[in-house]
Amino acid sequence: MLRAIVFIWCVLCSLVGFGQVATAQVMRLDQAVIMAPQGGAVRLPDSWNKSGMQGTVVYELGFDLQEIPAAPWGIYLPRVGNRFSIALNGQEIAQLGLRNDPGSDYAQKPHYFFLPKDSLRLAGNQLTITVQGDKARYAGLAALWVGPADEVRSKFVVREVLQTWGSFSIMLVAVVFGLISAGLAYSTRDHSFTIFAVACLMCAVRTSYAVVTHVPFHYSWWHLLVDTCFAGYLICMCLFCTSALGIRSQYVAWLTAAFAMVTAILVPIYSFNHNAVARQIWLLSMVVYSISVFTFVIHTWYKQRSAAAQTLAIAAALSISLAVHDHILVFYTTDGYGSMALARYSLLTFLVAMGWVLVDRSNKQMHAERNYRKQLAVELETRTLELSAQFKKQEQFILQAVQHQEQTRLMQDLHDSMGLQLNTLLVMAEKGGFRPDELTLEVRTAIEQMRMLVDGAQVFDGNFEELLGHIRHRIESRLKRCDIALQWHADYAGLEPKLNERAGKALQRLIFELCTNVIKHAKATAVQLHITAAPDHRGVLQILFSDNGVGLAEPTQSYGMGTTSMRHRLEELNATATHTTTQQGGFQYQIRIPC
């Protein structure tokens, strides 16, 4: 990783210096005479920024030839403008930018033009360059190169690739990585990716000044936007480093706030008042801020000694070295105006660093996930064994509860159904003097009650029609053995009765007990059982159970109704029951069950 970042930095430095040495034929023209407005000789580069110049200046540069060249010649201007025109020996070569149009700016790009062959002479060649520039806007004229087209063009191509196409590539890469970082920020909820995405987008806006030759709006506002994005890019890069390294320092926060305040004050002064000193102070504060944050990054790396801290520290060091290089070159060297700034390529070092941080973070996360999966598998196996043991205990508890419930039911049914019958047989056996037919009836009744109890224990699977079929089969065979006819009618169209297992058992035991009462007490010859939908209420199942027996002398002495067992069955069904006396003297029960 360290080698890759250092390699990028070395390549940039080597490419900037490539082709700067003049050959025997290529001439570097750095002496000019200002023809208008004030006149006088000047050594190029002539930067208007330092002197606060603006307006239109005409430069004349002379050169001689040993012979008229057979091959085409060219002229390479590293920087000129904001707007300019070139003429050789009175013949115009090019004009870029309309006169008195402050929206156009060609000073951020290198320029190359072919020299007309018929315009060259052996001695006294005069290049006339008319420059129109705006105050505090990088206007002026750099030293230029004249010579054979192939050699001069090679110098131009290097500068064009690095400055123009390199800037365009930086813009494209910044937008792509900005969108990728925004996607990562949305998916991971990591604010460091959000900061990096904003930094990339600001870098794209900042770098666009190198490829835009006509600003989209007034150049004062354009300068404000570009320089604000420059400061925002630097702040976001510093915040990304501190966030990725976990630096939580109030000093860094106050330092960032101070630099943001300086930017908010000086950038508008430079943009609208065209004060070059304000921009120089602002750029110096930018360098101070970068070095200060870089110091914290180095300190963090020294304490952590982590690979991520080392990578970001190297990226920050290279970026700051590029920024210092540009600041010293532009403001403190004689050839600053003609040189190319390298700070725009600082994004590449941070992209490489961010890529490495992402890979390192992914590896750590994958390793943590593998460990977590192993730990989760062990814990899952342990929990599975624990749950299996708990399920077994729960099954035992349920089985015991079911057995206890069944024992309770049997005891209740035996007490309610068989208790009275067996006690009657016991009294008859103790007193004696009973008739054989009476004993036969009591024994037969006891046997029928036992059969009813056994049938009541049958499992109900939820099918209501099968339940009714089972009930009819059981009671019809019991009643038939007692010479009692069963008249069965079931028509509950429009209803779909759904009973759970508990309610199903309660219904069949209720009907079994009614039949038992008929066998024991009614002396009936016929029983009617009608199962229909209640005519006065939808969703209610109505059961009419009647016999033609002898009934009771007193209505309050009704057999079966009011006993504990009957009430329990009705509660389980959530049903209501009423009874009346039929015309034949028997009983009729009306049972209403909500479905």
| Domains observed in the chain | 2-16+27-365 (2.60.120.260), 437-594 (3.30.565.10)
Q: Which residue has the higher pLDDT, 198 or 18?
A: 198
Is the pLDDT score of 529 beyond 70? yes
Highest mean predicted confidence (pLDDT) among 65-69, 302-306, 324-328: 65-69
Read off the pLDDT band of 268 (50, 70, 90).
very high
Span 365-397, pLDDT tens digits? 788 888 888 998 999 999 999 998 898 888 888
Residue 454: per-residue pLDDT: 64
Read off the pLDDT band of 331 (50, 70, 90).
low
Q: In 3D, which of 370, 592, 394, 366 has the Cα closest to residue 495?
A: 592
Q: Which residue has the higher pLDDT, 498 or 178?
A: 178
C-alpha span between 542 and 454 (Å, rounded): 26
Residue 112: per-residue pLDDT: 95
Q: In 3D, which of 440, 526, 353 has the Cα closest to residue 5?
A: 353
Q: Using CA of residue 357, residue 361, residue 367, residue 370, what is the dihedral sign? A: negative
Read off the pLDDT band of 262 (50, 70, 90).
very high
Read off the pLDDT band of 22 (50, 70, 90).
very low
Q: What is the mean pLDDT of the chain?
A: 80
Arithmetic mean of pLDDT, 580-591: 83
Please report which helix (H) or strand (E) contains residue 354, including its range: helix 346-413
Q: In 3D, which of 221, 224, 29, 242 has the Cα closest to residue 142?
A: 29
C-alpha span between 467 and 565 (Å, rounded): 20
C-alpha span between 201 and 369 (Å, rounded): 33
Read off the pLDDT band of 2 (50, 70, 90).
very low
Arithmetic mean of pLDDT, 409-429: 64
SS3 per residue for 501-522: HHHHHHHHHHHHHHHHHHHHHH
Span 25-45, pLDDT tens digits? 789 999 999 886 777 888 888
C-alpha span between 71 and 254 (Å, rounded): 62
Is the pLDDT score of 514 beyond 70? yes
Is the pLDDT score of 453 beyond 80? no
Arithmetic mean of pLDDT, 279-308: 80
Arithmetic mean of pLDDT, 86-114: 88
Least confident residue range of 209-213, 292-296, 297-301, 403-407: 403-407
Least confident residue range of 232-246, 339-353, 546-560: 546-560
Residue 412: per-residue pLDDT: 66
Q: Which residue has the higher pLDDT, 536 or 414?
A: 536
**Residues 6+ away with beta carbon under 8 Å from 161:** none
Q: Which residue has the higher pLDDT, 137 or 417?
A: 137
